């Protein structure tokens, strides 16, 4: 028996778990865990809710709630969502758990004793208006690498690069929009640099990692490791277990991954041997499941901490991080309000059908796109038409004509072929699952279902029954055999329907307690069957539309909160302090405003003058590298091509986009939640998640672009 430890990235308790998170971080380890248990391996899978992160406090401030209450609310909600979706953990708690807190403090002290933590003065952004220092997500600005305008102080959500606040262009406080000053503060730093050589050696034999994980991690190491602050100025979170630091707490990035160990401590419940059997046993492999933005924390920082603790704890064996599951080309994001929540999904759809869809579209190596239309199509044409159809035909025909599993009186050569087929599927799927290739795993199993369908078609038991009952019985016996094998092997992917099938086959207990190899075993003739019910439901096209609207994220308001106007460019000049920026003055109808725009690579100054553009007029003014910007122009970008939105020919400066109003000021963060895109007809659209795209117009006339952009292009 092998032991497998599975760490699942801790989600922030700042909102309900959404489809992107489930498909990227939770469903894969759940399949992995269920499979290994069926293989007879001992598995310990842990995770929990991150209650202390800035996403939680930022959200709580927005909702006017106490962060602890807010986090607890979402923690409970997410525990239920996992449960309803069939995702099981051996331990799932929160960072408020007393054992977590105590163990994190122990680890902090140990690192301090070992000389891996030291105090150093650092510069931090400080908002004079809010009178506080601003850790990571409390500041935003333009990403210096990809020029995404709302990069956070800890990481750019668009390109995934890790940030320090002082790297951002046009840094501002997300609460009040002020430009922060920099102040000096004392903080604890983790000596990450000390483990650089060790990590290089450790990573040198990790060629079996997913390419994108390995490449990213090796590149990260190549650029050199910098020590990182592990405490921050706040009174919310885990206290520093040393005297005189009451105004600081342990940084969440440092605390959250320690949760993999703390949850094992909780699970072992004081039994050191039990704990060591997973954490110090060299035979126990450690797997970590997470999204790609989390890779360096699990391939660099966490291994470095484990090594530095010097307790002989196991380092990760594999980190099969996923790329992103997007929706309509956009990133799911709780903080940006682009979501489709599991708690809503399970109310509208069969969780197994959704688990199937996520498994076949899983972003294992590159970003993939989620759409409910595609879900409906694949549910009908694959799940229902192949797997569901096969087992239902096999079971209902047998039930009706035999009431029990018939005997195989004429096995012939085909029984050997069938055995080989099942053995092959059992072997291949296992191999894929062990390599965390979940897509290939389910494909293999669907192949077996397809074979079953063909087998029934070829044999035509409905004719056989009239001529030769023994031949018919044999065909059905074989079909039941395949169905039983599928019930077992599909169980890690689709536990609910496998259980239904298991019962219908006259089997007892929980299918997840069956052994993986038991899929090879022949069924017992004479076993009484229960009346079969179809495993899956066909969905109508309208199932995608109808439900989607109800689930459209409510954080995205209508156009009435925006003041979008036609403007005419009067002058254009270079920004004095920024290479990529230029400064425009534009007539917005009720006056002239100054804007900074990052389009220098794409337009010359001459091209700008006299041009009519679309400007967001109710953005909070902000200084970009020392120059005030009082609005933002809208442009569409696809890859390298950036083009300005072009109002209709006869539009005049000050004309408003239909549906928008002289609205109150908003932050750039709020604006970023508006899903604008270039539609099929190459015109600009407002496309709320799941809803029908709606054309952006001025006096009923469409807005195009000044270059040829294809549909789906994002507007920023
Ligand atoms: Zn970026
Ligand atoms: Zn502020």
pLDDT tens track for 373-398: 899 999 999 999 999 999 999 999 99
Per-residue confidence (pLDDT) for residue 419, from 0 to 100: 96
- Provide, rounded to the nearest whole percent, the portion of the chain with pLDDT above 70: 94
Structure tokens at 436: 């965390």
Confidence bin at 554 (pLDDT 50/70/90): very low
The owner of tokens 């680890």 is: 107
Output the CA 148–ligand 1 centroid distance in Å. 5
Which tens digits make up the pLDDT trace of 137-174? 889 999 999 999 889 988 888 888 888 888 999 999 98
Topology adopted by domain 559-715: OB fold (Dihydrolipoamide Acetyltransferase, E2P) (2.40.50)
Q: Where do the domains of the chain lie?
A: 3-108+250-343, 112-233, 364-541, 559-715
Which tens digits make up the pLDDT trace of 16-26? 999 999 999 99
Structure tokens at 638: 């696809």
Distance, CA of 345 to CA of 357 (rounded, Å):
12
The per-residue pLDDT of the chain, averaged, comes to: 90
CB 319 within 8 A of CB 213: yes
Pairing of strands 42-49, 91-94: parallel
Specify whether domain 364-541 bears CATH 3.40.50.1860: no
Which tens digits make up the pLDDT trace of 690-713? 566 778 888 888 898 887 555 445
Of residues 479 and 580, more confidently modeled? 479
Per-residue confidence (pLDDT) for residue 715, from 0 to 100: 61
Once rounded to an integer, what is the mean pLDDT over residues 472-497? 98
Which tens digits make up the pLDDT trace of 69-97? 999 999 999 999 999 999 999 999 999 99
Per-residue confidence (pLDDT) for residue 162, from 0 to 100: 86
Output the CA 425–ligand 1 centroid distance in Å. 43
Query: pLDDT at residue 300 above 80?
Result: yes
Pick the CATH number of 112-233 from 3.30.750.24, 3.30.110.30, 2.170.220.10, 1.10.10.10: 2.170.220.10
Closest alpha carbon to 237 in 26, 7, 12, 45: 12
- Ligand (nearest to CA of 161): 1
Topology adopted by domain 3-108+250-343: Rossmann fold (3.40.50)
Pairing of strands 117-127, 91-94: unpaired
Of residues 617 and 671, more confidently modeled? 617
Once rounded to an integer, what is the mean pLDDT over residues 350-372? 94
Query: pLDDT at residue 551 above 90?
Result: no
Per-residue confidence (pLDDT) for residue 334, from 0 to 100: 55
Distance, CA of 632 to CA of 668 (rounded, Å):
9
Which tens digits make up the pLDDT trace of 423-443? 999 999 999 999 999 999 999
Length of the chain: 716
Output the CA 236–ligand 2 centroid distance in Å. 18
Output the CA 164–ligand 1 centroid distance in Å. 12
Closest alpha carbon to 136 in 121, 155, 150, 120: 155
Output the CA 137–ligand 1 centroid distance in Å. 15
**Angle 669-671-677 (CA atoms, 0-180°, nearest 5)?**
125
Output the CA 347–ligand 1 centroid distance in Å. 36
Query: pLDDT at residue 548 above 50?
Result: no
Per-residue confidence (pLDDT) for residue 332, from 0 to 100: 65
Of residues 313 and 369, more confidently modeled? 313
Output the CA 162–ligand 2 centroid distance in Å. 22
Confidence bin at 549 (pLDDT 50/70/90): very low
Three-state secondary structure call for residue 328: coil
- Ligand (nearest to CA of 149): 1
Structure tokens at 300: 């660099």
Confidence bin at 553 (pLDDT 50/70/90): very low
Per-residue confidence (pLDDT) for residue 550, from 0 to 100: 40
Output the CA 127–ligand 2 centroid distance in Å. 5
Per-residue confidence (pLDDT) for residue 545, from 0 to 100: 57
Query: pLDDT at residue 570 above 60?
Result: yes
Per-residue confidence (pLDDT) for residue 555, from 0 to 100: 38
- Crossing angle (nearest 10°) for helices 252-268 and 98-113: 120
């Amino acid at each position: 028996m092998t032991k497998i430890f599975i760490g699942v990235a801790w989600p922030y308790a700042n909102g309900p778990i959404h489809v992107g998170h489930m498909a990227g971080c939770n469903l894969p380890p759940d399949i992995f865990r269920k499979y290994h248990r069926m293989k007879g391996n001992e598995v310990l899978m842990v995770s929990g809710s991150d209650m202390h992160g800035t996403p939680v406090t930022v959200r709580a401030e927005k909702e006017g709630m106490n962060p602890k209450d807010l986090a607890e609310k979402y923690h409970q909600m997410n525990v239920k969502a996992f449960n309803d979706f069939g995702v099981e953990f051996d331990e799932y708690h929160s960072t408020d758990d007393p054992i977590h807190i105590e163990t994190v403090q122990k680890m902090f002290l140990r690192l301090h004793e070992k000389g891996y933590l030291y105090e150093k003065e650092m510069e931090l952004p400080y908002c004079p208006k809010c009178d506080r220092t601003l850790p990571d997500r409390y500041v935003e600005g333009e990403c210096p690498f990809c020029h995404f305008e709302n990069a956070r102080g800890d990481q750019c959500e668009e390109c995934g690069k890790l940030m320090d606040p002082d790297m951002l262009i046009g840094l501002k406080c997300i609460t009040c929009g002020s430009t922060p000053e920099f102040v000096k503060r004392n903080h604890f730093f983790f000596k990450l640099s000390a483990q650089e050589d060790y990590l290089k050696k450790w990573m040198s034999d990790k060629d079996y990692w997913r390419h994108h994980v390995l490449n990213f991690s090796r590149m990260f190491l190549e650029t050199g490791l910098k020590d990182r602050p592990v405490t921050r100025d706040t009174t919310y979170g885990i206290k520093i277990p040393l005297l005189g630091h009451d105004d600081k707490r342990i940084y969440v990035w440092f605390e959250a991954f320690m949760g993999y160990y703390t949850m094992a401590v909780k699970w072992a419940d004081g039994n050191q041997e039990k704990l060591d059997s997973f954490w110090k046993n060299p035979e126990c492999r450690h797997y970590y499941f997470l999204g790609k933005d989390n890779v360096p924390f699990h391939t660099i920082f966490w291994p470095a901490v484990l090594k530095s603790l010097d307790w002989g704890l196991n380092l990760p064996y594999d980190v099969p991080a996923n790329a992103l599951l997007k929706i309509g080309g956009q990133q799911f994001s709780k903080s940006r309000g682009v979501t489709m929540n599991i708690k809503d999904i399970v109310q509208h759809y069969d969780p197994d059908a959704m688990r199937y869809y996520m498994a076949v579209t899983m972003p294992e190596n590159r970003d993939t796109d989620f759409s409910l239309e595609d879900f409906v199509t694949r549910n009908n044409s694959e799940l229902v038409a192949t797997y569901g159809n096969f087992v239902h035909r096999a079971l209902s025909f047998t039930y009706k004509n035999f009431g029990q599993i018939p005997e195989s009186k004429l096995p012939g050569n085909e029984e050997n072929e069938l055995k080989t087929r099942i053995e092959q599927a059992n072997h291949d799927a296992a191999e894929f699952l062990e390599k965390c290739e979940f897509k290939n795993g389910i494909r293999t199993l669907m192949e077996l279902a397809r074979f079953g369908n063909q087998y029934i078609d070829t044999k035509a038991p409905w004719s056989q029954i009239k001529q030769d009952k023994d031949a018919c019985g044999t065909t059905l016996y074989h079909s039941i055999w395949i169905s039983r094998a599928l019930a077992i092997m599909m169980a890690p992917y689709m536990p609910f329907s496998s259980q239904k099938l298991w019962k219908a086959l006259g089997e007892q207990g929980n299918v997840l307690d069956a052994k993986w190899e038991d899929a090879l075993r022949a069924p017992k003739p004479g076993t009484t069957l229960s009346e079969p019910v179809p495993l899956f439901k066909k969905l109508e096209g309208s199932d995608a539309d109808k439900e989607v609207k109800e689930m459209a994220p409510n954080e995205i308001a209508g156009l009435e909160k925006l003041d979008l106007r036609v403007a005419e460019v009067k002058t254009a000049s270079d920004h004095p302090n920024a290479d990529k920026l230029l400064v425009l003055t534009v007539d917005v109808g009720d006056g002239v405003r100054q804007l900074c725009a990052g389009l220098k690579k794409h337009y010359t100054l001459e091209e700008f003058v006299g041009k009519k553009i679309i400007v967001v007029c109710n953005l909070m003014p902000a200084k970009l590298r020392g120059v005030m910007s009082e609005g933002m122009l809208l442009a569409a970008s696809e890859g390298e091509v950036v083009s300005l939105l072009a109002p209709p020919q006869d539009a005049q400066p000050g004309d408003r986009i239909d549906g928008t109003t002289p609205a109150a000021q908003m932050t750039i963060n709020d604006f970023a939640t508006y899903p604008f895109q270039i539609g099929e007809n190459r015109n600009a659209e407002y496309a709320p998640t799941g809803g029908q795209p709606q054309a952006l117009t001025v006096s009923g006339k469409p807005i195009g672009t000044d270059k040829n952009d294809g549909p789906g292009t994002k507007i920023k």
